[in-house]
């Protein structure tokens, strides 16, 4: 694998890794603080847990090649939006939009793109709320606005998506039709379960207030 140096003082994979890891640390800290504040104000935690990862150089190069781009640091930083990824898992569908709004209102975060696969699921049945944001990383001699992909989904959606990923990996994208259909059917069950659990939680909260 070969990566050619880029601009903005970012010349090596080690520097890219440092930058995006720093962005992930900041996002994780922000979400932990927001979750703690929400608990303090509303006696409720919307976030179940958080997963963070940095895309491997091999995966990035494959993505660049699929898009007809040379394997350079500059192309990596400019055109690959999910080098740093954070997945926020919550209990209920309503939490997804609540968390997204909290992120949007952070003054140092700029939202670049949103894809709402909750309202508009993929044909496979996949549901999740995606955001591409930039967050400033302050190095010793400069500030670098760094992209992070955020995925927000319920526990049930995450379970389904994990299984879909394993199936696609096993069949290298060529999934048998009957398995694809079963996945779509399971996605409907997951959606119904999320709706029912939200309805039940709302009923419990109403009883608690009375």
- E strand or H helix at 150, and its extent? strand 143-154
Whether 89 and 47 have beta carbons less than 8 Å apart is answered as yes
Identify which has the larger pLDDT, 112 or 5: 112
Whether 3 shows a pLDDT value over 50: the answer reads no
pLDDT of residue 2: 41
pLDDT tens digits, one per residue of 130-185: 999 999 999 888 899 999 999 999 999 999 999 998 998 888 778 899 999 999 99
pLDDT averaged over every residue in the chain: 90
pLDDT one-digit tens code per residue, 4-27: 444 455 568 888 899 999 999 999
* pLDDT for 10: 59
Which residues have a Cβ under 8 Å from the Cβ of 31 and sit 6 or more positions away? 47, 50, 86, 88, 99
Sequence-separated (6 or more) residues with CB below 8 Å from residue 159: 190
Is pTM, for the whole model, over 0.85?
yes
CA triplet 89, 153, 191: central angle to 5 degrees?
125
pLDDT at 108: 95
For residues 193 and 84, what is the distance between their CA atoms, to the nearest angstrom?
A: 30
3 neighbors 57 (Cβ within 8 angstroms): yes
Which overall architecture, per CATH, does domain 13-158 show? 2-Layer Sandwich (3.30)
């Amino acid at each position: 694998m070969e990566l050619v140096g880029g601009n903005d003082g970012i010349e090596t994979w080690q520097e890219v890794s440092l930058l995006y890891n720093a962005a992930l640390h900041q996002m994780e800290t922000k979400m932990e603080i927001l979750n703690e504040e929400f608990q303090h104000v509303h006696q409720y935690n919307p976030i179940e847990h958080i997963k963070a990862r940095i895309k491997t150089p091999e995966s990035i190069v494959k993505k660049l090649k699929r898009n007809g781009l040379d394997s350079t640091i500059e192309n990596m930083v400019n055109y690959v939006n999910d080098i740093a990824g954070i997945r926020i898992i919550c209990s209920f569908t309503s939490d997804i939009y609540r968390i997204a709004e909290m992120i949007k209102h952070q003054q140092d975060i700029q939202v670049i793109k949103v894809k709402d696969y909750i309202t508009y699921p993929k044909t496979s049945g996949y549901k999740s709320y995606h955001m591409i944001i930039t967050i400033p990383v302050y190095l010793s001699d400069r500030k670098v606005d760094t992209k992070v992909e955020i995925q927000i989904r319920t526990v049930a959606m995450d379970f389904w998506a994990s299984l879909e990923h394993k199936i696609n990996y096993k069949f290298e994208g060529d999934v048998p039709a009957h398995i694809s259909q079963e996945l779509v059917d399971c996605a409907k069950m997951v959606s119904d379960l999320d709706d029912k659990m939200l309805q039940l939680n709302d009923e419990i909260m109403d009883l608690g207030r009375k």
